[in-house]
Amino acid sequence: MPFAALGLPDYLLRAVAALTYQEPTAIQAQAIPHVLAGRDVVGVAQTGTGKTAAYALPILLQLNAAARPASPQPLQVLTVAPTRELALQVAAAFRAYAQFSPRKVNTLAVIGGEDLEGQIRALRRGAQVIVGTPGRLLDLIERGELHLAQVQTLVLDEADKLLDLGFADELDKLLALLPPKRQNLLFSATFSPKVAALSERFLSDPVRASVEGELPVVEKIVQRVLQVDRDRRRMLLQHLLEEEGWKQVLVFVASKVAARNLAAKLDREGISAVGFHGDLEQEQRLEALRRFKNQQTRVLVATDVAARGIDIEQLSCVVNYDLPRSPREYIHRIGRTGRAGHKGLAVSFVDPDSEAHFALIEKRAAVSLAREQIPGFEPIVLPAAKTKGAPAVKGRRKSKKDKLRAAAAKALAQD
């Protein structure tokens, strides 16, 4: 199905063509007609399936079709995002989709960690579309600088993450300040009971657009599982960076300390790398992302929370240096690659102690992946084969004392 079949005007068709979008994704094909019809919509689809365009394109059509607003432009569309990075990327997407718009649509991102006075000055100049994080939005409202009286459309992007990060109270405060007559759009990677309860509170007779069971992000991503001992993962990563020629790699680790340490060690080895985690100041986070997007940094070592919302087209590879905690996070992680129709690669490091956990991820994500070993990096102790009966005991590497005892016993036996 072409984008034209969804009823989009020429200026939006030119924009998606300029962005090399070939055809609508499943969530776009389902959601766009309902948004254009003015319905409240719940959109559920995995990361990397084009949820932003599913609401931004029809919203831009509505803004252009409406009566010309007063000057300065009143706020008409409020989009709430869970992270600063996602808010910036959604605002950038609105601008990209509006590049051929017959009417100028001012879009502004308001997020914490950036110059408050600069955001206030921009607000006073007028913006029809505001994308913001909950805390900064409420701060601007309390200061009397942000007014919601003329909001016609509310978007909650990544609603599941908004709730996971503890923004339920902030959302309730924002919803109480909005005009009752408005269009509500909720988009989420999952439809958990919490998300369902949120949609019941503020959506009116919503239509549901859902492709959550298809895991579409996986189809265009080559997934590899490499067996390696835990203490040799960094050496294997360096080897792969050299041998595979990956231009840019997003490496996931389990903690802020791990992000700092791994990035520092790679950097000392001559591989440009930076840690990306919650302890960074906002200016540092934006600079790290800018350098990575501009290919000035080759490796971004990130935690799950910090990386949420990262959208880098043509990212060649994602590496699960530490495995994710759940199948859902696995899908979120590998969804950073293989975007906008491009092919992607996801590599997971598995050691004997993490084999059972990764097998559970495979089962719940409905995938079955072959195990590989890279010559020179074969694990010393392999995971025990699955057998019936009592559970297998995990193998462990012999200590130096164990090896010395074994050698002494062998020598005595030979005497």
Q: Is 318 helix (H, G, I), strand (E, B) or coil?
A: strand
pLDDT for 392: 42
How confident is residue 384, by pLDDT bands cut at 50, 70 and 90?
low
Regarding whether 224 and 116 lie in a shared domain, the answer is no
pLDDT tens, position by position, 192-246:
889 999 999 899 999 999 885 544 445 678 999 999 999 999 999 999 999 998 8
Considering the domain architecture, whether residues 187 and 283 belong to the same structural domain is answered as no
Indicate the pairing of strand 273-276 with strand 299-302.
parallel
Given this model, what pLDDT does residue 327 score?
A: 84
Domain boundary among 355, 372, 389: 372
Residue 155 lies inside a defined structural domain of this protein: yes
With 0-12 / 13-18 / 19 or more C-beta atoms within 10 angstroms meaning exposed / middle / buried, residue 374 is middle
In a domain, 385, yes or no: no
Is residue 34 domain-shared with residue 84, that is, in the same domain? Answer: yes
Report which of 92, 118, 141, 100 is spatially closest to residue 309, judged by C-alpha positions: 92
Q: State how many domains the chain has.
A: 2
Q: Which of 151, 170, 174 is nearest to 162 (CA)?
A: 170
Name the helix (H) or strand (E) containing 329.
Answer: helix 327-334
Same domain, 60 and 147: yes
Where does the pLDDT of residue 306 fall: very low under 50, low under 70, confident under 90, or very high at 90 and above?
confident
- What is the domain-level CATH number for residue 205? 3.40.50.300
**Do 112 and 256 reside in the same domain of the chain?**
no
Q: What is the pLDDT of residue 386?
A: 47
Position 168 scores a pLDDT of 92
Residue 50 within a domain: yes
Q: How confident is the model at residue 388 (pLDDT cuts 50, 70, 90)?
A: very low
Q: Are 306 and 191 contained in the same domain?
A: no
Overall average pLDDT of the 292-312 stretch: 83
Whole-number pLDDT of residue 212? 56
Looking at the structure, do residues 165 and 239 belong to the same domain, yes or no? Answer: no
143: closest CA among 170, 165, 124? Answer: 124
Q: Write out pLDDT tens, residues 337-359.
A: 876 556 789 999 999 999 999 99
CB count within 10 Å of CB 325 equals 12
Q: Over the stretch 137-190, which tens digit does the pLDDT of each residue have?
A: 999 999 999 999 999 999 999 999 899 888 999 999 999 999 999 999 999 988
Say if 120 falls within a structural domain: yes
Q: Is the pLDDT of residue 393 over 80?
A: no
Residues spanned by the domain of 31: 3-210
Question: Within a 13 Å sphere around the CA of 363, how many CA atoms are in the beta-carbon half?
Answer: 6
Banded model confidence at residue 130, pLDDT cuts 50, 70, 90: very high
- More reliable by pLDDT, 218 or 30: 30
Of 210, 241, 257, which closes a domain? 210
pLDDT band at 309 (very low <50, low <70, confident <90, very high): low
Q: Other CB atoms closer than 10 Å to residue 73's CB: what's the count?
A: 18
Residues 55, 121 within the same domain:
yes
Contacts of residue 319, defined as CB under 8 A and 6 or more positions apart, other chains included, come to: 237, 240, 249, 250, 251, 252, 346, 347, 348, 349
Rounded distance between C-alpha atoms, residue 208 and residue 192, angstroms: 14
**139 and 252 fall within a common domain:** no
- Any idea how long the chain is? 415
Report the alpha-carbon distance of residue 203 to residue 38 in Å, rounded. 12
